[in-house]
Amino acid sequence: VILFIVLFLLNLMMSHWLQISLFLPPQLLFHLFKSKINTTYIIPYPRPAIVTQPVDIHYNFCKLKPLSPEETLEEQLLLESIAWPETPSLPSPLFMNSSSDPAHSTFTILPRKREGQWQIGDNLEALIKIYDFMGRPKKYGGDVLLAQLHNPTLGAGVAGQVVDHLNGSYSAVFSLLWEGSAQVTLVHPSEAVTELRRVNIEEPDRIYFKSQFRSSLLTRTTTCNVCLRPTQPVCNYTDLRTGEPWFCYKPENMSCDTRISNYNGGYKESLTTMEKLFQSSSVESKPSGYYYQDVWRALGGTTVHQFNTSSAITRCLKGKLVHMYGDSTMRQWFEYLNAALPVGPLMALDYANNIFVMFRAHGPPLRTVSVPSMELHYIANELDNVLGGSNTVVVFGIWAHFDTFPIGFYIRRLMSIRSAVVRLLSRAPDTVVVIRTGNPKPYTILGAFVNSDWYTFQRLKALKAIFKGLNVHLVDAWEMVLAHHLPHSMHPQPSIIKNMINVFLSYICPPKGGFTSWADFLILGLKAFSG
C-alpha cells in the first residue's frame, strides 16, 4: 500500500504547475510513515494572454440592500464566524520570495493517538509546514488547502478536514477507511488570498451585464450591475418585494421602461502585477459522508437510497410538485430528472403519476444568454407564491454567480430567501425544502478571479450558518465533489450528479434501514478491508 500526499500549488509566476508527490511507504497498513520527498514533477502549463487595466481606487459604489438593526447584528456575527485568517499585505513590486513554496514545504505523519496498530476508522493526521521560496518557515496562516482520500479501485473517497494553526502549519485529518491515497491540494497561497480580497473590494463589477432597450425603431444596449459606477444616469430596477438591488445605465433619449432583455456582458480584466501569485479555529474531523463503490453514503443524517431506475424515481415523485430554483448547477438536476419524466424546456409533467417538476433561474446577477426582463424572478418572491404542503418539494441552489461580488450582497440574498422559507414553513410545515451547496471547480487563472474555491468556500460557510436551525435539508455538493476521484468541475460529471439526486430524493422518500451512524460506517469499512 502506498499512501502519498500531493501538495499542488497554482504558482503563476513561473508559468507552470508545480506538483510535489511525497511517497510514504508504511511497514504495516497506515503506520510507520516516512516523511521524505522522493520525486518532484514539473508539468508545463502555458499562461493565457491577459490584458490588464489600472485599478480604480473609487470602489465604494455597490448599493446593497439596507438591513434592519437585527439583521446588521446577525451579519456582523456571521462575518466574524466565517472570518478567514488575516493574510499579509503585498509589497509593490511583488517578489515571490516570501510566498508559499511547495518545494520547500514539508509534512509529518503524526503518531497514532492510541497505542497499537492503525485501525480502520482511525483518524490519520498529517502536520503540514509551509515554507517560502527562500526556505524560511511561514509565520502566519491563510493558505487555501483541500484534502481528499481516494481509492479509485474501490470507487471509494472521503473529504479530509484541514485545520489552520495560524502559524504557517496545518493539520490535514483523514478517516482511515480503506487502502488508498491521500491528497492535500494547496489551491492558493495566503498571499493570493490577499489579492482575492482586494479584487472583490475594488473590482466587484469585473463581471458585468448588459440590457437591451427598445422603443419603436430605436434599440440601445447599456451596462447593468448591482455595483455600477456613478458615471452617468442610471435606471433603478430594485425589486419592490425583496429589496434586491439592480441597476442599468439609462439609455440615451429612452425611458427605463423600455428594457426588454438582460444577458451576460463579459469580464473586465483588472488584474495588477499581483497576478503572479496565481502563476506561481478547530474543524470537526468527521466528514458529512463518503463514497464506496461509487455510491455516496451520508453520515449522521438521512439514509441515502439508490434510485437507479426511472420507475424508482417516478414512484418517489408520484403526486409531487417539485419547484427547482437556481443556477445552471441546479438545472443539471432538472435535466437529470427529465430522463425519467416527459420533457419540457423548463417543466416536466407526468400526467399518469401526477408529477410536476419545474425549474426557474434565480434573479440577477445571472451570467447567461439573453433572457427577457420579465423572466427574471427572485427566489424569495417565487417561494411566496408556493402554497406548500406534504406533496410539495422546494429545492434551490444559488452560489456560482455571486463570487465576484462583496459577500454582504450574497448574505442579503440568502436572508431574503430564508425569510421566504420561514414564511413557507409557517403556512405549510410539511413542505420539503432542500438546498444544494456550491462545489469545488478546476483551477484556471481566470477562474481564480471569478469563481475561486476560496470565494465558494466562504459563501458555503455563510449559507450553512444562515439556514442553520431551520427545517431544511442540505445536499453537500462541496464534499460530494471533493471526495470523488473524478476531476473537479463547475458542473459535476453524471456519476456525481446521480449521487446528488439520490440524496435529494432520499429527503423526499426516506428509505428504511441503511447506514446512519459511525458504527454502520465502520462495519462497512471492515467488510471492505477484509474483502
pLDDT digits (tens, 9 = 90+) for 378-427: 999 999 999 999 999 999 999 999 998 999 999 999 999 999 999 999 99
Q: Is 528 helix (H, G, I), strand (E, B) or coil?
A: helix
How far apart (Å, rounded) are the C-alpha atoms in residues 517 and 480?
Answer: 18
How far apart (Å, rounded) are the C-alpha atoms in residues 200 and 223?
Answer: 19
pLDDT score of 507:
96
For cell 503540514, what's the residue?
128
pLDDT surpasses 70 at 187: yes
pLDDT score of 125:
87
CA-closest candidate to residue 149, choices 119, 114, 124, 117: 124
CA-closest candidate to residue 331, choices 346, 351, 320, 341: 346
State the average pLDDT over residues 23-31: 24
pLDDT surpasses 90 at 91: no
Beta bridge pairs of residue 356: 321, 349
How far apart (Å, rounded) are the C-alpha atoms in residues 523 and 531?
Answer: 12
DSSP 8-state assignment for residue 293: T
pLDDT score of 137:
93
DSSP H helical segments within 467-493, as ranges? Answer: 477-482
Burial class of 146 by CB neighbour count within 10 A (0 to 12, 13 to 18, 19+): buried
pLDDT score of 384:
97
For cell 425519467, what's the residue?
340
| Domain 289-530: homologous superfamily in CATH | SGNH hydrolase (3.40.50.1110)
What is the per-residue pLDDT across 166-177, written as a single tens digit (0 to 9) for each?
Answer: 999 999 998 888
Mean pLDDT rounded to a whole number for the chain: 79
The helices-and-strands tally (H runs, E runs) of the chain is 11, 24
Grid cell at residue 123: 483518524
How far apart (Å, rounded) are the C-alpha atoms in residues 134 and 90?
Answer: 17
Q: What is the 3-state secondary structure (H, E, C) of 92-123?
A: CCCCHHHCEEEEEEEEEECCCCCCCCCCCCCE
Report the percent of the chain where pLDDT is more than 70. Answer: 79
pLDDT surpasses 80 at 207: yes
How far apart (Å, rounded) are the C-alpha atoms in residues 222 and 203?
Answer: 19
DSSP H helical segments within 181-323, as ranges? Answer: 190-202, 310-317
* Continuous segment of H or E residues that includes residue 457: helix 453-466
How far apart (Å, rounded) are the C-alpha atoms in residues 406 and 359?
Answer: 27
For cell 496545518, what's the residue?
170
| Low-confidence winner among 3-17, 174-188, 215-229, 324-338 (lowest mean pLDDT) | 3-17
Taking the CB of residue 139, how many other CB atoms lie within 10 A of it? 12
Report the percent of the chain where pLDDT is more than 90. Answer: 49
Q: Are 350 and 340 in contact (CB under 8 A)?
A: no
What is the per-residue pLDDT across 235-293, written as a single tens digit (0 to 9) for each?
Answer: 999 999 999 999 999 999 999 999 999 999 888 765 554 444 554 333 334 678 888 88
State the average pLDDT over residues 105-131: 82
Q: Are 424 and 362 in contact (CB under 8 A)?
A: no
| Low-confidence winner among 55-69, 198-212, 220-234 (lowest mean pLDDT) | 55-69
Q: Are 501 and 317 in contact (CB under 8 A)?
A: no
How far apart (Å, rounded) are the C-alpha atoms in residues 190 and 17?
Answer: 17
pLDDT score of 512:
62
Spatial strand order of the sheet with 39-44 comes to 3-9, 16-24, 39-44
pLDDT score of 52:
30
Q: CATH 3.40.50.1110 residue ranges in the chain? A: 289-530
pTM for the model? 0.80
Taking the CB of residue 427, how many other CB atoms lie within 10 A of it? 12
How far apart (Å, rounded) are the C-alpha atoms in residues 6 and 302?
Answer: 33
How far apart (Å, rounded) are the C-alpha atoms in residues 474 and 448?
Answer: 26
CA-closest candidate to residue 58, choices 196, 224, 228: 228
